[in-house]
Each structure stands twice: as structure tokens, then as C-alpha cells.
Amino acid sequence: MSAKSKKSLRYHWVAGGLASALSRFIPVPVVDGIVDERAKRYCLDRTLKYHGRQFDASAVESLYKDSGSVAGWVADKVKQLALYPVRKVGRIVTSSTGVPKDFARTYLLARAIDLCLAKDFLQDDASAKARDKEARNIRDAFDSAFDKLDDMLFKAIVGIVRQQFSEMKPEVSAIFAKMVGKPTKKNDRSSKEIKNHKTSKTAVQNPEDDAAFSKLVSNFDDRFRDEMAERGLDIEAD
């Protein structure tokens, strides 16, 4: 894959990460979590396509869904609904840390999947059962690695997250509207902004060029490789 196409892929990771961060402020119970889930699926679909996989995210949904079973998903949503007022206040109060953390969770999940696909995990010819098992192990390793990251790493990337949003606001607004389920009309403000300000996927700054974000990525990569190794899955760099 060319450097240009990889930069284009990162553009989608950034867009998905920003959508996840914005979902924190949706004033509708449960919808915020659904949009965050769709943002992760958006990144996963594009990462699978980048690596030439013939299946889409629905075949490995445990990678982007927080619960693997229908019963678990429903129970989780009911719990979210019941705790919504407290949870929403808490998320807004902690937004200075939460926003960059939401962004990083989606971006780093896409990066983790990218690392795994490059090491030939989740192959097209694998059985559905084997692929699902790999997907669950990858997500479990990701969650463990992410939870071990220091909150100071997230606070340090507030600036680059703001910059990314400033550069991509029209496009992210349009993507976010689709995830929420609101159709973007031709006369919508977001449509006009995109027409007048179309950001090139190769022109947006790579967040990994930022020192603080690069440190976060490096810390995550080390922890993720360790977590994968503990599960007998090797993604060590060549």
C-alpha cells in the first residue's frame, strides 16, 4: 500500500474518532452509544477494505460492539437508559479528559485492527467461528491495553484533537449526521460547507506527527503487543 493511501486511511480514523468524541454530547438516551458504535464500525469497514478483505465489519462485530450477544446488548442499553441522567452529567463534567479519550479509543482501535490485519489475522478463508474467536481476542487485548494507558497521555492530546476538528469540521459534521440518522440535504449548512471547503484526505495533518499523540500511540502499541502476546497472538514488528 502506498503512503498516500495509508494517509487517506488515517483520515477516516480521525473522522471516526471525532464522531465518537462528539457522540458524548448527544442529549438523547442510548443514541450517544449507538453513534459511538457506528463510528467504530465506520473505521473498521475502511480498514478492512484497505487490507483487501472481502468481508465487512458485520462479520466481526465483536470488534466494534461493546457486548457480543443480543441479550447482552439489550441489557447494556437498558442499563444506559436507566443511568442516563447521571452518566450524561458525568461525561460532560469530565469532557476535558473524556473528549480526547473518546477520540483516541476509536482511533487506536482502528490502528490495532490495522496492525492485526497486516499480520494476516482475520483472513477471508478462515471459518466464521475462527474469525469471530480472533476478533474477540483482539478486542479483549485492545480493551486491556487501552485501560492501562495513563490519563495524562489523553490530556496531552487535547490540542491536536481540536486542530483535527478545525481542519475537518464540515466533513465530520456530515459523517456525524449520517451516523445519527439525519439525512444531509443539499441546502443544509454542512453540505454548503463541504462544497466550499473540501478537505483533501492527504492534506489533513497526520495526528501521529504530533509529539504528544505519537507518545500515546507508542505507549499503546507496546501494551497492545504485550496483551496480544499473552493471548498467544504475535504481532511483533518485523
| pLDDT(125) > 80 | yes
| pLDDT(217) > 80 | yes
Whole-angstrom Cα distance, residue 80 to residue 97? Answer: 21
Confidence of residue 90 (pLDDT cuts 50, 70, 90): very low
- Where does 112-237 show beta strands of DSSP type E? none
Instruction: Count how many Cα atoms sit within 13 Å of the Cα of residue 67 in the half-sphere of its side chain.
Output: 14
> What is the predicted pLDDT for the residue at 169?
81
Q: Which of 156-160, 174-178, 216-220, 224-228 has the lowest mean pLDDT?
A: 174-178
Query: Is the pLDDT higher at 43 or at 90?
Result: 43
Q: 134: burial class by Cβ within 10 Å (0-12, 13-18, 19+)?
A: buried
Nearest to 137 by CA among 45, 55, 28, 62: 62
